Structure 1
Amino acid sequence: MEWLHHVFQKSPETALFLSLAAGYLIGQINFGKFQLGGVGGSLLAAVVVSQVGVQIDNGVKSVMFAVFIYAVGYDSGPQFFNSLNRRTLREIAMAVFLAVTALVTVIVCAKAFGLNKGLAAGLAGGALTQSAIIGTAGDAIARLGLSADETKALQADVAIAYAVTYVFGSLGAIIVCVNVLPKFMGQGLKEASIEAEKSLAGGGAGGPGAGQISALPSLVGRTYRVTADVAGRTVGDIETREQDAITIERIRRAGHAIEPQPDMALAPGDFVLVVGRRDVMAGAAGQLGEEVADTNGVSIVMQKRQGVFAMRGMNHWTMRAVRASVDRGVRHGVYVQDITRAGMPLPVLPETRLEHGDVITFYGSPQDTKRAVEAAGYELPYSNKTDFIYMGVGIVIGLLIGLVVVRVGGIPVTLGSGGGCLLAGLVFGWMRGKHPMYGVMPPAASQLLKDFGLAAFVAVVGLNSGLQAVVTVKQSGLTLFLLGVFVTLFPLLLTMLFGRYVLRYDNAAVFAGALSGSRSANPAFGGVLDRAESPVPTAAFAVTYALANVLLTLLGPLIVGLV
């Protein structure tokens, strides 16, 4: 192993990338239905690699955490600020209740079992599966004014406790949200989702769930040959009769393609291209003529165009209300295909409430979708280039905020670089959602910053503190694990009771989405969606998840200060 130690001394970055590669490989291994994940795997791999003897400059750790926490805030910003309103008081209350309960639980456990600041913060990070706590707690520890050795030892304890408690932290959230909650409510997630969809649709059925594609697409195009009994009817009459659920996009008459006008009467032998919703098209087919396969001279190119909803005075309006307020000429030929909020799909139903920052995918002809996007707000540009000016300014402002120290009762209080970058990310992400013409950060780029930033940060922590980690695990590993089980389950179960009997959640699918979001538990939410087979839980999850990302992340410095 001496040669490996020599390599790492000459090129310590080799140890970093080796830990990342090995960690993500370990993270893909299935233990039943559970995976450790890339972050947990990277930490474990880094601890093993560190036994050879290697040190990474702490500046690397600081940079990686800054970009990670900024990206977290950036992605959560639009939904975080939009969620702060009267309509989401239940979700806000649930997220706050779980965060406070978790904080109290961790502090009580730390006091009762004599855990130091590092172990207590790591316990919170792993048991609550909030990896960002590792960074915010480590940053807070570095500002305590301790010696270099004491600081290093406490930061090592954060990583150790996180590694010991993380596995059950993920598994426990899945068990509660996917298995315990439905039994507690006496309602299956799939049945609850169907019930919620029928309620939103006024008794109708909802569409396919996230990641599903219908074998019978909802939007279709058909070509018809106008027969004598249909001739004479105008384009506007046909479209209005079907409540704008179908649109005549093109007419071919005597071999020439012509653009349809509302007052244009159809003539026998006309070929008409009709686009619309499949269920309406099927019922209207007999009134359109004879369906034919010939599309020569009548086919047109349709387009999907994404727009950011920002209509003035219509925030939190239902789709039904927005549609009713928009002129028919603007709506003509345009269909809403998808709606996402903070990257999560929402059901396209009449009673779904739209919020500023929601991304709507419009389907129709190029000119129709352009008109719809302009009316809805702003077009979301298709770009794979990150605006590094915007990002750089945001991180700089965040780091400067982290330098501010306010004394409260003689005690210095500061957000630190982590809290500062998180706050800057939230504000800059919210600004981007409101004004998408600048500040582009493609989802793939943001995901890379979060994945690589956090994994590299955790790997550096593991490499620099792995030797001490082995000693601590031998001394108190079982105690930490059992405490992790308690910190995972107790706040979740207490919040479940609070949500049912105080907040009055009565739909298991919506409740499960809100609870998993309050714990920022992505694996649990994935399990909820899998069982629900519907995007219904997403709306509640999006609100509580955005809040939890902020509230749980801030537990790091709070625990360091209170333990």
Structure 2
Amino acid sequence: MFADIHFIDFLRANPALAVFVTLALGFLVGKLRWRSFSLGTVTSVLLVGVVVGQLKIEIPEPAKTLFFLLFLFSVGYAVGPQFFRGLKRDGLPQVGFAVVVCLLCLGSTWLCATLMGYDVAQAAGLLAGSQTMSAVLGVATDTIRQLPDGQAIDLDAMPVCYAVTYIFGTAGSAWILGTLGPRLLGGVEKVHKAALDLESKLGDDVSFTAGFDPAARAIVFRAYKAENDWFGQRHTVAEFERYMQSQKKLIFVERLRQRGRIADDVTPRTTIYPGDTLVVSGRRQYVIEEEDWIGTEVEDAELTNFSVQSLPVVVSKRGAAGQYVRNILKRKEMHGVNIRSILRAGVKIPVLAGGKLDAGDRLELVGLPQDVRRAAPTLGFSDPVSEKTGMPLVGLGIFLGGLLFGWLLMTRIGAVPLSLTVSGGVLIAGLFCGWLHARYPHVGNIPQPTLWFMNNVGLNTFIAIVGISTGPTFIQGFQEVGWSLFLIGAAATSIPLVAGIFIGRYLFRFNDALTLGCVAGARTTTAALGAVEETIQSNVPSMGYTITYAIGNTLLIIWGVVIVLLIA
């Protein structure tokens, strides 16, 4: 007993250790799955924090705010390029759709909270959990503290409502969009056909096609014997590649073995003779088809033993952003280079000839080192430019964003102060800094590992402190809100999703597969996007996810301010 008391006193004197053990256990529990169900990291960290909080450990307030602001800035920084990209003409329909769905999220939550007579803390927790937007907890707290009697309002019910409603907010969203959604649109087969139709319209140049294991490499290098009579006319490398393009197959000649010797320098003017061995590169589904046309595939270890470089490049050049993939690949500088994948706002989207590149897209270029190094500067900059983080931009961005929107732009409606709060200001600053970096890559670089740390560790540290701080009153708060809260949360989750499906189809007239991706993006639920893609066996929905995700991530966080003002 003496040792136990000693241990508890030690943790109370060193609350930082309690936070770290909460993070460790929360991340471990978050990885556990039962069939397709998982609590997820954020909910697990909160619940572990509640258990640790039974020891009545007090954590200084600035620690929670510090990590929360780092998280908000990283969110804005990551989606900034897509947020401003959506404001262009071709992105406006998806922006408008995301705004409508976000308004439905706010409206359904406000309606449910009003009908149940919830106070501002309970309503904010309901919004955060049912719409799976954990950041609402911090933004709403800031707003409540600014109310005339805000310091007297008990906030312990907020994380309780969040924890109860978050489970269905996550799992329910995945079920509604992944299982119910296709049925509401006419069935899985119909939505799958809509995805194929869109792929065909944009150019059948996908990374993976039906019949191929997704673990297979998208870009391959294979050796063939030039046996077709076509080679008897002594065509050049350039003529061969142009012929392949006329067959809608982007294939490059990388190396040649002629008369038993490997050619030192293969250029577009190099002549291909009958019996030569060609090493060709291109997308897997195209290259493996060429044995019937070029000739027999051969194994030539010496010829195929050469270095191939895979280089991540972030699109930032004006001549590349907004251009079709097919036009990019036709450029002289791109000769011998393939685009293996495109990552947009953290989401992998299909590589389609008719798809457009956006500023901030992260491409994976594959080819011979000299070819990749030649192509990269024409598209943008290799990432990371530096392993160092541009802390002046991060620090000033957080400071000026909080100062501008949390203080200088504050106004009042009667006795109620009205502003985006410091939290909302930091989010807006992150959006601007992310866009600025995409335009000027040497300004304020934040490497991907650092961004991950700011986002995941920032949010979960904030959630851990919330759980530890409210732990002693959590059970009492759960008894006060009652089990009915779970059903109310399910209603607040379902209404915007179901309505969004029909609005996307009949009002905005989106492609059915794209509609499901747009709804998932506006609700910022990546789990639901994965469920949709698994159900319809296509990654086309991801094309509707990125812009709507950027808008949804911004508005749903700001709704933390709005819900408090509506209820108050």
TM-score, normalised on structure 2?
0.89
Asked if structure 1 preserves the Cα contact closer than 8 Å seen for 2:49 and 2:465, the reply is yes
Which of 267, 283, 302 matches 1:261?
267
Q: Does 1:430 align with 2:435?
A: yes
Q: How does 1:147-166 map to 2 (within 5 A)?
A: 148=151, 150-151=152-153, 153-154=154-155, 156-166=156-166
Asked if structure 2 preserves the Cα contact closer than 8 Å seen for 1:221 and 1:276, the reply is no
Q: What is the distance in 2 between the residues matched to 1:529 and 1:272?
A: 37
Compute the displacement of 1:128 (Å). Answer: 0.7
Letter in 2 for 1:470: I
Q: What is the distance in 2 between the residues matched to 1:109 and 1:271?
A: 70
Compute the displacement of 1:109 (Å). Answer: 2.7
2:544 equivalent in structure 1:
540
Letter in 1 for 2:468: L
Which of 118, 125, 146 matches 2:128?
125
2:208 equivalent in structure 1:
207
Compute the displacement of 1:375 (Å). Answer: 2.0
| Cα distance change on mapping 1:32 and 1:267 into 2, 3 Å | closer
Q: Which range moved further: 75-84 or 193-202?
A: 193-202
**CA distances 1:52-109 after superposition (whole Å, capped 9, x unpaired):** 2111000101101011111111111111111122223332222111221222222233
Q: How does 1:233-382 map to 2 (within 5 A)?
A: 233-243=235-245, 245-252=250-257, 255=261, 257-266=263-272, 272-278=278-284, 280-281=286-287, 285=291, 291-296=297-302, 299-312=305-318, 315-323=321-329, 326=331, 329-381=332-384
Q: Does 1:500 align with 2:501?
A: no
Residue 307 of structure 1: SS of its match in structure 2? Answer: strand
Letter in 2 for 1:26: V
**CA distances 1:215-264 after superposition (whole Å, capped 9, x unpaired):** 47543231547899648433333232222833333345564642123333
Compute the displacement of 1:475 (Å). Answer: 1.9
Letter in 2 for 1:419: G
Letter in 1 for 2:187: Q
Compute the displacement of 1:513 (Å). Answer: 0.9
Asked if structure 2 preserves the Cα contact closer than 8 Å seen for 1:73 and 1:426, the reply is yes
Letter in 1 for 2:365: F
Letter in 1 for 2:400: I
2:223 equivalent in structure 1:
222
**CA distances 1:119-170 after superposition (whole Å, capped 9, x unpaired):** 110010011111110111111122225475x25x22x222121112111111
Residue 270 of structure 2: SS of its match in structure 1? Answer: coil
Residue 556 of structure 1: SS of its match in structure 2? Answer: helix
| Cα distance change on mapping 1:323 and 1:479 into 2, 3 Å | same
1:550 equivalent in structure 2:
554
Q: What is the distance in 2 between the residues matched to 1:31 and 1:296?
A: 49
Q: What is the distance in 2 between the residues matched to 1:122 and 1:367?
A: 54
| Cα distance change on mapping 1:117 and 1:320 into 2, 3 Å | same
Compute the displacement of 1:486 (Å). Answer: 1.6
Q: Does 1:195 align with 2:197?
A: yes
1:455 equivalent in structure 2:
460
Compute the displacement of 1:428 (Å). Answer: 0.9
Letter in 2 for 1:242: M
Q: What is the distance in 2 between the residues matched to 1:94 and 1:256?
A: 57
Compute the displacement of 1:317 (Å). Answer: 3.4
| Cα distance change on mapping 1:393 and 1:14 into 2, 3 Å | same
Q: What is the distance in 1 between the residues matched to 2:319 and 2:268?
A: 30
| Cα distance change on mapping 1:287 and 1:427 into 2, 3 Å | same
1:473 equivalent in structure 2:
478
Residue 483 of structure 2: SS of its match in structure 1? Answer: helix
Residue 557 of structure 2: SS of its match in structure 1? Answer: coil
Q: What is the distance in 1 between the residues matched to 2:520 and 2:554?
A: 15
| Cα distance change on mapping 1:129 and 1:217 into 2, 3 Å | closer
Q: What is the distance in 2 between the residues matched to 1:270 and 1:105?
A: 68
Which of 411, 424, 434 matches 1:419?
424
Asked if structure 2 preserves the Cα contact closer than 8 Å seen for 1:252 and 1:258, the reply is no
Q: What is the distance in 2 between the residues matched to 1:319 and 1:297?
A: 30
**CA distances 1:380-410 after superposition (whole Å, capped 9, x unpaired):** 3365443333323322223323333422555
2:63 equivalent in structure 1:
60
Q: What is the distance in 2 between the residues matched to 1:110 and 1:261?
A: 69
Asked if structure 1 preserves the Cα contact closer than 8 Å seen for 2:316 and 2:441, the reply is no
Residue 337 of structure 1: SS of its match in structure 2? Answer: strand
Residue 350 of structure 1: SS of its match in structure 2? Answer: coil
| Cα distance change on mapping 1:409 and 1:240 into 2, 3 Å | same
Q: What is the distance in 1 between the residues matched to 2:175 and 2:420?
A: 34
Q: What is the distance in 1 between the residues matched to 2:499 and 2:250?
A: 47
Q: How does 1:21-40 map to 2 (within 5 A)?
A: 21-40=24-43
Q: What is the distance in 2 between the residues matched to 1:37 and 1:259?
A: 53
Asked if structure 1 preserves the Cα contact closer than 8 Å seen for 2:224 and 2:295, the reply is no
Residue 339 of structure 2: SS of its match in structure 1? Answer: strand
**CA distances 1:186-239 after superposition (whole Å, capped 9, x unpaired):** 13154443333233226x877249x96354754323154789964843333323
Asked if structure 2 preserves the Cα contact closer than 8 Å seen for 1:517 and 1:545, the reply is yes
Matched residues, number:
554
Asked if structure 1 preserves the Cα contact closer than 8 Å seen for 2:207 and 2:341, the reply is no
Letter in 1 for 2:111: V
Q: What is the distance in 2 between the residues matched to 1:472 and 1:216?
A: 52
| Cα distance change on mapping 1:505 and 1:263 into 2, 3 Å | closer
Compute the displacement of 1:432 (Å). Answer: 1.7
1:15 equivalent in structure 2:
18
Letter in 1 for 2:88: N
Residue 540 of structure 2: SS of its match in structure 1? Answer: coil
Q: What is the distance in 2 between the residues matched to 1:473 and 1:289?
A: 71
Compute the displacement of 1:444 (Å). Answer: 2.8
Question: Aligned-pair RMSD on alpha carbons?
Answer: 2.9
Which of 493, 496, 508 matches 1:488?
493
Letter in 1 for 2:344: R
1:177 equivalent in structure 2:
177
Compute the displacement of 1:281 (Å). Answer: 4.3
TM-score, normalised on structure 1?
0.90
Percent of residue pairs bearing the same amino acid type: 32
Residue 553 of structure 1: SS of its match in structure 2? Answer: helix
Q: Does 1:559 align with 2:566?
A: no
- Where in structure 1 are there 5+ consecutive unaligned residues? none
2:139 equivalent in structure 1:
136
| Cα distance change on mapping 1:51 and 1:372 into 2, 3 Å | same
| Cα distance change on mapping 1:270 and 1:474 into 2, 3 Å | closer
Letter in 2 for 1:549: N
Which of 515, 526, 543 matches 1:511?
515
Compute the displacement of 1:541 (Å). Answer: 0.9
Letter in 2 for 1:265: T
| Cα distance change on mapping 1:138 and 1:275 into 2, 3 Å | same
Asked if structure 1 preserves the Cα contact closer than 8 Å seen for 2:518 and 2:544, the reply is yes
**CA distances 1:332-357 after superposition (whole Å, capped 9, x unpaired):** 21222212211212212221122222
Letter in 1 for 2:202: L
Residue 30 of structure 1: SS of its match in structure 2? Answer: coil
Letter in 2 for 1:207: F
